[in-house]
């Protein structure tokens, strides 16, 4: 079960709330980037960034010099992962909507200092974007590790919201001669584009070539 | 030209900054949803939501009862729109990255009170998600309009960041026998799914059927 703190208990759209921890994992594991919200000088700052999950911990990373991580280190953050699944086309302008799956996580991130957890966090972040790459490429040097801060955020306080299915119109609008339904959205992989600077003729590795066509 | 206030001047990744106002419009106009950041009780809150643009104003909407809008009404917000274009697969774990286009807008939103601007804002938000729908469906009633708050956010303070192209590896890594390149991501429309509750056999309208296959 997910937490039910005041800020993870939905005020609006209650019927869209999911309360199972597996729903949270599913939204996070299907994502590629999150939007990290921090407060910097009293003002919110929303930054798209990579992430990875190990159990009930979310890992974020960034240069040790990044403003968003400095701000995040001193206060609570909100991490949101959103999958947009379709546009909901209703018979009335008012009932237009979107189908989506989203997760919001609140918490005070912890700067990872343990070298093993630091490496595991970076691995999780890399594998989230590019499964199979960590073991296929040159591992980080000591200098590269020192330049990369890793933050750990507990998944203790999180909410999940899902909307799916056709529009919900006002009773009297169903008789209108207006097409209604859902225009689905899919995220698909294109054909891998080799780096023109490759010095040898290398085949696209299976773990890249075999990624499923439709994700999210 | 875009503004060059301290918070829209990139500290990191300067070479990725775009400073032309048209670059901002292009990122916004190609998007479907944004991530709205507000500060609620000192804590950031990042909410996925629709938006629309008219000239140099961004419009956001929500129920008059939504917590995110109430919070936004009392303070500054950050609106971020992100297009993820590909995964950048480098020869080293450290240089893995993503290709993307993103825009961040900072400002104090204004609650729209003028009825004409209120309607124009709602139209822009609907048309951003579903072009052509506003004139094809039942327009909002007075009661529906009263239940929907519209916020106007000036595009005066904004930054745009773009990364494209192959990985940039360390000089000595180019000789490694490791495949490198970009795995492109595309967002595509699926086949329109008619609402099973439609009472008449209606064809999918041209403005829906003709949406281009690839967006973003």
* Confidence bin at A137 (pLDDT 50/70/90): very high
Question: What is the residue extent of each domain of chain B?
Answer: 6-215
What fold characterizes domain A6-169+179-185?
Answer: Pnp Oxidase; Chain A (2.30.110)
Residue of A47, A185, A55, A189 lying closest to A130 (CA atoms): A189
Residue partners of A107: CB distance under 8 A and separation at least 6: A76, A77, A153, A154, A156, A157
Q: Å from A174 to nearest chain B CA?
A: 7
* Confidence bin at B66 (pLDDT 50/70/90): low
Q: In what order do the strands lie in the sheet with B110-111?
A: B52-54, B57-63, B148-154, B110-111
* For residue B214, pLDDT beyond 60: no
Residue partners of A216: CB distance under 8 A and separation at least 6: A30, A31, A83, A85, A186, A187
Better-scored residue on pLDDT, B81 or A7: B81
Query: B128 in the Ramachandran plot: left (φ > 0), alpha (ψ -120 to 50) or beta?
Result: alpha
Q: What is the C-alpha radius of gyration for chain B, rounded to an integer number of angstroms?
A: 20
Q: Could you say which of A12, A84, A193 has the minimum Cβ distance to residue B184? A: A193
* Confidence bin at A146 (pLDDT 50/70/90): very high
Question: Looking at chain B, which residue has its C-alpha nearest residue A84?
Answer: B33
Q: Could you say which of B137, B181, B189 has the minimum Cβ distance to residue A184? A: B189
pLDDT of residue B41: 85
pLDDT of residue A72: 47
CB contact under 8 A, B130 and A43: no
pLDDT of residue B12: 62
Instruction: Please give the interface size between A and B, counted as residue pairs whose CB atoms are below 8 Å apart.
Output: 307
- For residues A43-52, one letter each, b for 16 or more C-beta atoms within 10 angstroms of the residue's C-beta and e for the rest, the string is bbbbbbbbbb
Question: Looking at chain B, which residue has its C-alpha nearest residue A183?
Answer: B192
Q: What is the rounded distance in angstroms from the CA atom of residue B170 to the CA atom of residue B64?
A: 52
What is the β-pairing status of strands B193-194 and A181-189? antiparallel
Mutant choice from B30, B74, B87, B93 vs A, greatest count of A C-beta within 10 A = B93
| B63 chain-A contacts, CB cut-off 8 A | 12
Cβ distance B161 to B13 under 8 Å? yes
Q: Could you say which of A12, A35, A126 has the minimum Cβ distance to residue B46? A: A35
pLDDT of residue A73: 43
Mean pLDDT of B160-174: 97
pLDDT of residue A212: 61
Residues of chain A with pLDDT > 70: what percent?
A: 91
Domain B6-215: which CATH number of 3.30.70.20, 3.40.50.720, 1.10.3720.10, 2.30.110.10:
2.30.110.10
Mutant choice from A179, A207, A210, A215 vs B, greatest count of B C-beta within 10 A = A179
Q: Give the angle subtended at the CA of A36 by the CAs of A10 and A140, to the nearest 5°.
A: 140
| B89 chain-A contacts, CB cut-off 8 A | 130, 133, 137, 208
How many CB atoms sit inside 10 A of residue B77's CB? 25
Q: Could you say which of A66, A177, A202 has the minimum Cβ distance to residue B12? A: A66
Q: What is the rounded distance in angstroms from the CA atom of residue A176 to the CA atom of residue A126?
A: 50
How many CB atoms sit inside 10 A of residue A126's CB? 21
User: pLDDT per residue over A66-102, tens digit each?
Assistant: 655 555 445 899 999 999 999 999 999 999 999 999 9
Q: What is the rounded distance in angstroms from the CA atom of residue B116 to the CA atom of residue B172?
A: 61
Mean pLDDT of B154-169: 97
Return the minimum-mean-pLDDT range out of B56-65, B83-92, B154-163, B196-205. B56-65
* For residue A118, pLDDT beyond 70: yes
CB contact under 8 A, A39 and B36: no
CB contact under 8 A, A91 and B138: yes
Mean pLDDT of B101-108: 97
């Amino acid at each position: 079960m997910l937490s039910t703190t005041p800020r993870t208990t939905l005020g609006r759209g209650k019927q869209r709330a999911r309360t199972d921890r597996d729903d949270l994992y599913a939204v996070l594991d299907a994502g590629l980037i999150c939007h990290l919200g921090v407060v910097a000088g009293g003002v919110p700052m929303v930054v798209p960034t990579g992430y990875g999950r190990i159990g009930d911990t979310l890992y974020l990373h960034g240069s040790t010099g990044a403003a968003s991580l400095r701000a995040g280190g001193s206060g609570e953050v909100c991490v949101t992962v959103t999958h947009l699944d379709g546009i909901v086309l209703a018979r009335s302008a008012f009932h237009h909507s979107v189908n989506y799956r989203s997760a919001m996580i609140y918490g005070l991130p912890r700067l990872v200092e343990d070298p093993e957890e630091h490496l595991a966090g970076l691995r999780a972040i890399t594998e989230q974007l590019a499964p199979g790459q960590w073991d296929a490429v040159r591992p980080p040097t000591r200098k590269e590790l020192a330049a990369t801060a890793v933050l750990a955020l507990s998944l203790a306080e999180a909410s999940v919201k899902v909307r799916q299915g056709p529009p919900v119109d006002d009773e009297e609008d169903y008789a209108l001669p207006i097409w209604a339904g859902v225009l689905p959205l899919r995220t698909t992989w294109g054909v891998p584009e080799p780096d023109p600077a490759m010095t040898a003729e290398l085949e696209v590795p299976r773990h890249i070539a075999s990624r499923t066509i439709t994700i999210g």
